Homo-oligomer: A and B are copies of this chain.
Amino acid sequence: MSETSQFVEEVHPQHFRMRYEIENVLFEGESSFQKVKVVQTKGFGKMLLNDDLVMVSERDEFIYHDMLAHVPLFVHPNPKKVLIIGGGDGGTAREVLRHSEVEKCTMVEIDEMVVEACREFIPQTSSVFTNPKLDLLIEDGVKYMKESKDLYDVILIDSTDPIGPAAPLFGKEFYQNIYSRLSDNGIVVSQGESPFYEQEMQKKLQSLVAPLFGCHSFYNFHNLTYPGGLWSFLFASKGLRPVEDLSETKVLDSKLSFQYYNVETHKASFQLPEFMKKVLF
């Protein structure tokens, strides 16, 4: 790596930085919501950055998207209608629509610039945008949840951190609306933040979800390009349990193959280390 290399640098508030070596900047723009950038990296493929934070890299996006989509879709006995709030790169929708029983996936992304940048430069995630089962809406997810009358079997909150455009997604009213829009067996999974760096945010999220839902639990996954490498989702449902109600037969019968997800990692991901159990209730 020569000293004349170009880098994109991610600055974290907790006194460290990640620098990725890049070949060139493919897209750079500023929407009404955030700075949007797509870079061609060395070693990590293309990378989407919102407000200079890594959202997606081609090298490791399979992990996040596997664990966000397949965990609830294999627990739910018959998920026909799925809603994604956020997820502008398309990776979550791509994995959702691999499940043949899903009849319709609605995706509500606030920032058209993210969608268009990914459509042009990151087909690995965005090629799903031409799937006829996908209904892609450019709209405020909070407003959508307030006004929509549709019911969903699974809702996925594929959001950035609760700063900038995603801040209202960490609100009480938003989760009340989610509850109302879920069918009887409904499951919601939310981007659950870093167990190392964002314990307060995890407690906040838990305090929004716990009073509404019969069952809730954080689960962990690994991510190369998120700070600390350990990241989580929050699973909440009207009753379905994430480990006990997982149908192994359903996973086998789906004949889907994955790079990260399998029945064992699904179950293992809900086993939390002590320092998380001490923080969460």
Give A contacts to B, CB under 8 Å: 1, 7, 11, 13-21, 41-44, 60, 63, 196, 220, 222-224, 226, 228-230, 257-262, 264-265, 267-269, 271-275, 277
Contact = CB atoms under 8 A, between A and B. Distances in A.
Contacts of A19: 16-19
B265 A271 contact: yes
Given A7-B17, A15-B41, 10 more contacts: A14-B43, A222-B228, A222-B229, A222-B273, A260-B274, A261-B273, A262-B273, A262-B277, A265-B272, A265-B273
9 contacts: A7-B17, A15-B42, A19-B19, A60-B196, A223-B229, A224-B228, A257-B274, A261-B274, A268-B269
B260 A271 contact: no
Question: Which of A7, A43, A257, A261: most chain B Cβ within 10 A?
Answer: A43
A234 B246 CA distance: 29
Nearest to A23: B15
A80 to B, nearest CB: 26
B21 A15 contact: yes
A44 B15 contact: yes
Given A268-B271, A273-B265, A11 B16 contact: no
Contact of A15 (B14, B20, B258, B260): B20
B272 A260 contact: no
